[in-house]
Amino acid sequence: MGYAAFDPKSPLSFFRFQRRDLQPHDVQIDIQYCGVCHSDLHQARNEWSNTTYPVVPGHEIIGKVVAVGSEVTKFKPGDTAGVGCLVDSCKDCSECQADLEQYCDYAVYTYNSADRYTGKSTYGGYSNNIVVRDDFVLHIPENLDPAATAPLLCAGITTYSPMRHWKVSRGQKFGVVGLGGLGHMAVKFGRAFGAHTVLFTTSPNKVEDAKRLGADEVIISKEPEQMRQHAASFDFILNTVAAPHDLDQYLSLLKRDGSMCLVGVPDHPHPSPSVGNLIFKRRKLGGSLIGGLKETQEMLDFCGEHNITSDIEMINIQNINEAYERMLRSDVKYRFVIDLASLQDEPSQDGQPGRQVNPVAA
């Protein structure tokens, strides 16, 4: 059981469904916490025009293993485990062989994707349990708070992966555009990697918080003079904003051979950047999608070693619709996390039916 969107306009509401039977390589997890990602809102409201209803969002999942299939050796009942954005892939293509399952053409996402066993839609972490192939389940460091660890499974790896790919490190000047769920993790990683970390924000009231999180400098991006002072000085900029905006103002801040990476997916395209802004300094504009399972485990282990978690606000599942509206107003510091124990408080537990469908979900 969980919460689902049944169409683009209606609020999410209680939904009863069944998970698939345990396969030999499956792990069954009772979900304790699930982070709330902006992608959840995009999918619930069909803003990317690919939603299959009903949709149960949620891909930042932490819980306890309660059962394992006969061939599972890496997990046992009682383990704390995590599930991120992926629950399966083909395992055979060049992307999978390179531990980059997120780029597999047959990747199966945690929700709103076709399950490889049942052919039915996968349902995510706004629910009481989940069944996942063991290769896509992650070990959670024991020293980390499990609720604050949940957002690492999307917000964390979405920022960690491009920072590792572009080799952000000590001696570099590293920029982060936007201080939200993704941006605040990028600032924390930038500090941990030893880079000179600079946050770009349109909100002067975020300056002190950005410095608390680890930023060495904060630039108010709507102040042209502040931007000009940093022209052609950045090695790498990670742009986390998921709304259309002018990319040229940030590209002009890159050094020769500098790169900017986009990790936010807007519902409408960005204005096209100036080609001249790229070619006259050999600058690069790229993108990145979460991370593979090997790298995601590496990220979790790094966070355990450096005691890095997300700044969160805990909510009950019954408050998810209000949380979506607050998320649109950037009224959260910096990630909502659902306490799934609250799902037990649903009236349908007292004999009322709730909404129901027949398909068995992953």
Q: What is the pLDDT of residues 84-110, one digit of tens each?
A: 999 999 999 999 999 999 999 999 999
- Per-residue pLDDT of 111-141, as tens digits, reads 999 999 999 999 999 999 999 999 999 999 9
Q: Tokens 């890159």 sit at which residue?
A: 254
| pLDDT at residue 349 is higher than 70 | no
How high is the pLDDT of residue 350?
A: 40
What is the mean predicted confidence (pLDDT) over 135-151?
A: 98
The helix (H) or strand (E) run that includes residue 212 is helix 207-213
pLDDT of 351 > 80? The answer is no
Choose the weakest-confidence range: 79-93, 139-153, 262-276, 328-342.
Answer: 262-276
Beta strands at 312-316 and 335-339: parallel, antiparallel or unpaired: parallel
Distances (CA, A) of 319 to 112, 126, 325, 331, 353: 22, 12, 10, 14, 20
| Look-up of token digits 């659902």 | 338
Among 132, 5, 114, residue whose Cα is nearest residue 59: 132
DSSP 343: G
| Per-residue confidence band for 242, with pLDDT thresholds at 50, 70 and 90 | confident
Q: What pLDDT, on the 0 to 100 scale, is given for residue 267?
A: 80
Q: To which residue do tokens 């997300």 refer?
A: 310
CA 260 – CA 297 distance, rounded (Å): 25
Sign of CA dihedral 78, 311, 13, 110: negative
Q: Where are any strands of DSSP class E within 265-352?
A: 284-287, 312-316, 335-339
State the CB neighbour count (10 A cutoff) for residue 255. 17
Arithmetic mean of pLDDT, 183-198: 98
List, for residues 281-303, the tens digit of each pLDDT value.
Answer: 999 999 999 999 999 999 999 99
In the chain, where are the structural domains located? 2-154+311-361, 155-287
Chain mean pLDDT for the chain: 94
pLDDT digits (tens, 9 = 90+) for 14-40: 999 999 999 999 999 999 999 999 999
The tokens describing 144, both together, are: 């980390």
Among candidates 109, 118, 125, which has minimal Cα distance to 12? Answer: 125
262 in Cβ contact with 166 (< 8 Å): no
CATH class of 155-287: alpha beta
Write down the pLDDT at residue 266: 85
Q: Which CATH number applies to 2-154+311-361?
A: 3.90.180.10
Rounded distance, CA 259 to CA 236, Å?
5
Radius of gyration of the chain (CA): 20
Statement: residue 153 has pLDDT above 80:
yes
Average pLDDT value for residue range 152-174: 98
> Residue 185 has what pLDDT?
98
Cβ atoms 34, 128 nearer than 8 A: no
